[in-house]
């Protein structure tokens, strides 16, 4: 019986490293497609000018600004939106405010200010958050006058030329249903956490989106900084709130209907990165769970579709990409028994098994190659920026427990509320979190204790690996261990720090 158990562990370990190898090699494929098709996603001034002539007059556009309790950033968003270069008589702005705090007063005041300046801007407040962001967008679309709908989340600063560099592409083909632009970074230099995140975001928007958009594979709307053809949204079945990534869901439903998407890498809209580990984990939890929910919902339809096999494979790989995190956890859990009981494997060649695992670990460097190429494509000082890559790697492994929980909830069909990522207008390194304490709240996440347990488990595994002469696994395990230690510590530290800051703020107001 014991031998059967050990054999099962070996089988799980082998399947796990093969799956991790696949997702790693997929990153190499994305880099290859980026290098091959990058020019297709860059703006060609001559082509853009020809599309503008073909278009004729500028069409009516509605910009939607969905928000919920965004006290610190609501004014910045509305101000920037009203600075977009587009004919006033063709532009409508909808402020979709589901807030329950003082954000309402700030948003309404800003809307009234710009209405007096001649802007066609409307304040729409809902008394219930039915459907959350998807519900707000769906309801507002019924009264939107625009033929095209642009969307910006509260943490963004829309580019001034956003509309004039995206709208013409809808005249490239009547099948173009959505044009997505690139996310920039407002606060990349705020902390080591935001520096690391900026590299990860660049990897997606420079490599993955260009690879998919440039090679006519399915790509997705990123929830913000994009513009839709209203007809496309209706044809795809409209916004739905049964997943936490309504953007991903609508994108693939539209592409199942035959719509095509365009990605424009030269239009950059800066966004605020989460400044605390709990906020980052909350964002990643939502993205992970939502993408797996969308996978469960749409993979059967994708398999039944008449799309080419390559399109189907890429679409499913994209939808299930967050599976790397539960695969990481499985890898951690199975490594210890393999090392500890290595002398008991009479029917297996353990040196061959670990040698195979070592060879397949080449897939581990897939994401790293993607980040390096993206930084080199974007920045002259890319070598200096690479100093923060280890931090991204540590954080990326440290949230494996957080995202495994999200993955399991999605697969098991467990519902959860849409939890917004706090935006605190932390733009520069000298902006103080103490000044943002009143309208932000960071809850204690008990998952931190499980992350701490995993860190201890990993360091014990390292000790066993050294004792049995299998030190080649130590670098990977050390990376995991440091990641879990960092994430668990900051998950516990940030809420305590925030609670202290809030108490001090309250005391100062009472003086």
Q: How many whole angstroms separate alpha carbon 50 and alpha carbon 8?
A: 62
Judged by DSSP in three states, 442 sits in: coil
- From the candidates 97, 98, 153, 249, give the one annotated as an active-site residue: 98
184 bridge partner residues = 270
Total residues belonging to the chain: 511
Is there a contact between 419 and 252 (Cβ–Cβ < 8 Å)?
A: no
| 35 to 31, 40, 89, 260, 275: CA distances (angstroms) | 6, 11, 41, 21, 32
In the numeric block, which tokens belong to residue 51?
A: 């599309």
DSSP letters, 95-150, are EEE---STHHHHHHHHHHHHHHTT--EEEEE-SS-TTHHHHHHHHHHTT---SEEE
Q: How many whole angstroms separate alpha carbon 225 and alpha carbon 227?
A: 7
**Angle (deg, nearest 10), helices 246-256 and 132-141:** 60
Sign, Cα dihedral of 106, 180, 291, 132: positive
Q: ∠ at Cα 217 (178, 243), nearest 5°?
A: 60
- From the candidates 97, 155, 247, 494, give the one annotated as an active-site residue: 247
494 included as an active-site residue: no
In the numeric block, which tokens belong to residue 500?
A: 């202290």
Q: How many whole angstroms separate alpha carbon 434 and alpha carbon 497?
A: 9
Using DSSP bridges, classify how beta strands 61-67 and 91-97 pair: parallel, antiparallel or unpaired.
Answer: parallel
Helix (H) or strand (E) holding 178: strand 176-185
Is there a contact between 325 and 400 (Cβ–Cβ < 8 Å)?
A: yes
247 included as an active-site residue: yes
Q: Which residues form the catalytic set?
A: 98, 247
């Amino acid at each position: 019986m014991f031998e059967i158990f050990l054999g099962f562990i070996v089988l799980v370990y082998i399947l796990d490293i093969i799956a991790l190898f696949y997702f790693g090699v997929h990153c190499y494929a994305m880099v290859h497609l980026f290098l091959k098709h990058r020019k297709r996603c860059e703006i060609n001034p001559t082509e853009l000018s020809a599309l503008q002539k073909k278009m004729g007059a500028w069409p009516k556009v509605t910009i939607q600004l969905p928000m919920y309790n965004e006290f610190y950033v609501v004014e910045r968003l509305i101000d920037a939106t009203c600075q977009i270069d587009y004919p006033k008589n063709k532009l409508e702005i909808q402020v979709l405010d589901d807030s329950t705090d003082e954000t309402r007063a700030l948003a309404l005041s800003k809307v009234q200010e710009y209405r007096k300046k001649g802007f066609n801007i409307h304040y729409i407040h809902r008394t219930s958050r039915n459907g959350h962001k998807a519900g707000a967008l769906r309801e507002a679309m019924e009264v939107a006058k625009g033929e095209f709908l642009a969307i910006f989340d509260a943490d963004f600063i829309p580019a001034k030329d956003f509309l004039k560099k995206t709208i013409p592409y809808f005249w490239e083909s009547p099948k173009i249903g959505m044009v997505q632009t690139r996310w920039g970074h407002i606060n990349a230099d705020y902390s080591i956490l935001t520096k690391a995140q900026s590299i990860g975001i660049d990897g997606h928007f420079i490599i993955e989106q260009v690879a998919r958009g440039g090679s006519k594979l399915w790509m997705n709307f990123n929830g913000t900084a994009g513009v839709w053809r209203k007809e496309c949204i209706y044809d795809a079945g409209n916004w739905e709130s049964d997943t936490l990534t309504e953007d991903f869901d609508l994108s693939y439903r539209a592409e199942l209907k035959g719509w095509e998407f365009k990605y424009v890498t030269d239009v950059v809209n800066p966004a605020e990165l989460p400044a605390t580990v709990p906020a980052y984990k909350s964002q990643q939890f939502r993205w992970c769970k939502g993408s797996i929910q969308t996978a469960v919902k749409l993979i059967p339809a994708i398999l039944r579709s008449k799309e080419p096999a390559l399109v189907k494979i890429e679409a499913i790989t994209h939808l299930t990409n967050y599976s790397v995190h539960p695969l990481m956890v499985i890898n951690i859990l199975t490594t210890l028994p393999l090392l500890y009981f290595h002398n008991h494997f009479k029917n297996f060649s353990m040196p061959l098994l670990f040698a195979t695992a070592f060879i397949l670990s080449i897939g581990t460097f897939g994401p790293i190659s993607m980040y390096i190429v993206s930084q080199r494509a974007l920045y002259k000082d890319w070598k200096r920026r690479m100093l923060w890559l280890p931090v991204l790697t540590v954080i990326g492994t440290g949230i494996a427990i957080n995202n495994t929980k999200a993955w399991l909830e999605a697969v098991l069909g467990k519902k959860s509320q849409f939890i917004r990522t706090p935006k605190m207008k932390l733009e520069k390194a000298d902006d103080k979190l103490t000044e943002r304490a009143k309208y932000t709240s960071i809850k204690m996440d008990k998952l931190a204790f499980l992350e701490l347990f995993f860190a201890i488990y990993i360091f014990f595994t390292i000790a066993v690996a050294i004792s049995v002469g299998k030190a080649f696994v130590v670098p990977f395990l050390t990376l995991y261990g440091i990641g879990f230690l960092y994430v668990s510590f900051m998950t516990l530290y940030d809420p305590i720090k925030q609670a202290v800051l809030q108490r001090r703020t309250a005391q100062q107001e009472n003086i």
